[in-house]
Amino acid sequence: MTRATQPEERRRSAAGAADFDDGVRRYNDTRFNAIAVKVFPGEHYVTRDPREMLVTVLGSCVAACIRDPLAGIGGMNHFMLPESADGQWGTASASLRYGNFAMEQLINDILKGGGRRERLEIKVFGGGNVLESHTHIGSSNADFVETYLAAEKLPIAAADLRGRYPRRVHYFPLIGRAMSLELRRQQDAVAVGAEEKYKSRLKAEPDLSGSAELF
C-alpha cells in the first residue's frame, strides 16, 4: 500500500496488492461472493486479485473502470474536477491537475503491472447532476472523461453517464463485469455526502460521489 502525491488523493494499493484491509474499506460481500473494496472520492485502486470487487457511490463524480484482460490487472478511480475562483467547472488548469492526474495515475499503475495501452478495456460511470449548484457539475465531469479518452485515442467500451440520480457501481476488474445501480430513494442520497465534503476540499485548495444495468 502506498500514498499518492496529490492532496486530493487518498490511499491506494500497488498493482496486485491484496493488503488493503483496514476494517472499513474492505469487507466480505456474500451477495457477490467477493472481497469488496470501497473506492472513495479522490482515490484509485488497482488489483490483480480475482476475488476482489471494487465498489463506489457516484453523484457528480466520475469513475473510470479500466482493465487489461490479457495481463489480468485492472482498477477504478473516483474523481471530480474542482471549481475555479470564478465558479466555473472544468477549466483547463483544473482538468489538467485533477482529471488528467486521476486518469493517468490509474492507467499508469495498470501499465506498470504489465498492461498494454492497446488492450485496455474502459468503462465510465457517474457525472449525475445531483449536487446543489448553479452549474452542471456532473455534466462537466462526464464531458471531461469523454474528451480525455478521445484525445488519448482510448475507446470507451461502455458508459453510464449524466442523469439526475447518484449511482452505486460494482466492478470486477479481472472479468470486466460492471454493474451500475441508480439510487432513487431519498435515503440513498445520503451516500453522496462524501462528494460534498470532497467538493469543499477541492474549493479550498489553490488552483495549481433504482435499476441495475450490467456493462
**Residue 205 CA, distance from chain mean position:** 20
- Which DSSP state fits 100? I
CA proximity to 129, closest of 161, 169, 159: 161
Per-residue pLDDT tens digits for 181-209 = 998 765 555 556 666 666 666 555 433 33
Look at 1 and 22; give whichever has higher pLDDT.
22
Q: Find, among 174, 197, 178, 179, the residue nearest to 59 by Cα.
A: 197
Fold classification of 2-61+68-122+130-203 is 60s Ribosomal Protein L30; Chain: A; (3.30.1330)
Strand order, beta sheet including 43-47: 43-47, 73-78, 62-68, 121-126, 158-161
Nearest partner of 89 among 135, 123, 48, judged by Cα: 135
Residue 86's pLDDT band, with cuts at 50, 70 and 90, is: low
Q: What is the pLDDT of residues 147-166, one digit of tens each?
A: 999 999 999 999 999 998 89
Report residue 17's pLDDT band, with 50, 70 and 90 as the boundaries: very low
Q: Could you give the residue numbers annotated as active site?
A: 61
Whether 178 shows a pLDDT value over 80: the answer reads: yes
Asked if residue 64 lies in contact with residue 77, where contact means CB atoms within 8 angstroms, the answer is: yes
Which residue, among 50, 157, 66, has the nearest Cα to 117 in the 3D structure? Answer: 66
First-last CA distance in the chain: 29
